[in-house]
């Protein structure tokens, strides 16, 4: 299962936008695999990524609720120290924010399709994950990429 760990962490980092959270969620995914392995052990990859996706969704709900509480006046956690190169960090953060925002603007289905494609899942595996036919996955990917590109276009100024 160690062979899947790097791919799961990458997938979760893209899904959540938070590499530290991705590490935690990946660890929880593999703990669950150890404690409650899938009935069909012939294809653990699909099970692993399904569990990882569900954990990421749960973490997003918790984070959203925390943000709501913070806006209502609940104290926030301390902010981390600034990075050594503020200009480069600011640029990376801006690009990351735009990509996360564009991903968040997509439907859950489009986001899942693009992230699974990025992780190298086959069209058949993507089709099974989102409940469609294998033949339609290529079209769905192309449309999701078009929507993502549209969301990333520079704002008119």
pLDDT tens digits, residue range 1-38?
677 889 999 999 998 888 999 999 999 999 998 888 88
143 and 125, same structural domain? yes
- pLDDT, residue 155, reads 59
For residue 112, give the nearest of 21, 64, 50 by alpha carbon. Answer: 50
- Indicate whether 29 and 71 sit together in one domain: yes
Q: Are residues 63 and 94 in the same domain?
A: no
41 versus 113: the higher-pLDDT residue is 113
- Quick one: 37 and 93 in the same domain? no
Using only C-alpha atoms, what is the Rg of the chain? 17
Please tell me the pTM assigned to this model: 0.56
Contact 83, 89 (CB under 8 A): yes
Q: For 54-107, what is each residue's pLDDT tens digit? A: 999 988 888 888 777 777 664 555 566 655 677 787 888 888 888 888 888 889
Same domain, 101 and 63: no
Q: How does pLDDT run across 96-106, given as a tens digit for each residue? A: 888 888 888 88
Range of the domain at 74: 1-80
Same domain, 102 and 57: no
Instruction: Provide the token pair at 69.
Output: 């509480």
What is the SS3 string spanning 80-146? CCCCCCHHHHHHHHHHHHHHHHHHHHCCHHHHHHHHHHHCCCCHHHHHHHHCCCHHHHHHHHHHHHH
């Amino acid at each position: 299962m160690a062979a899947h760990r790097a791919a799961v962490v990458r997938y979760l980092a893209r899904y959540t936008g938070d590499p530290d959270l991705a590490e935690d969620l990946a660890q929880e995914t593999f703990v669950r695999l150890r404690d409650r392995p899938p009935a069909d052990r012939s294809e653990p990859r699909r099970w692993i990524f399904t569990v990882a996706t569900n954990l990421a969704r749960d973490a997003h709900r918790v984070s959203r609720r925390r943000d709501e509480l913070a806006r209502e006046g609940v104290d926030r956690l301390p902010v981390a120290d600034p990075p050594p190169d503020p200009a480069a960090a600011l640029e990376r953060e801006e690009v990351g924010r735009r990509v996360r925002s564009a991903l968040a603007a997509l439907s859950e289905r489009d986001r899942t399709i693009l992230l699974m494609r990025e992780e190298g899942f086959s069209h058949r595996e993507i089709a099974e994950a989102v409940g469609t036919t294998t033949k339609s996955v290529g079209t769905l990917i192309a449309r999701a990429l078009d929507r993502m590109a549209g969301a990333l276009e520079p704002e008119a100024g």
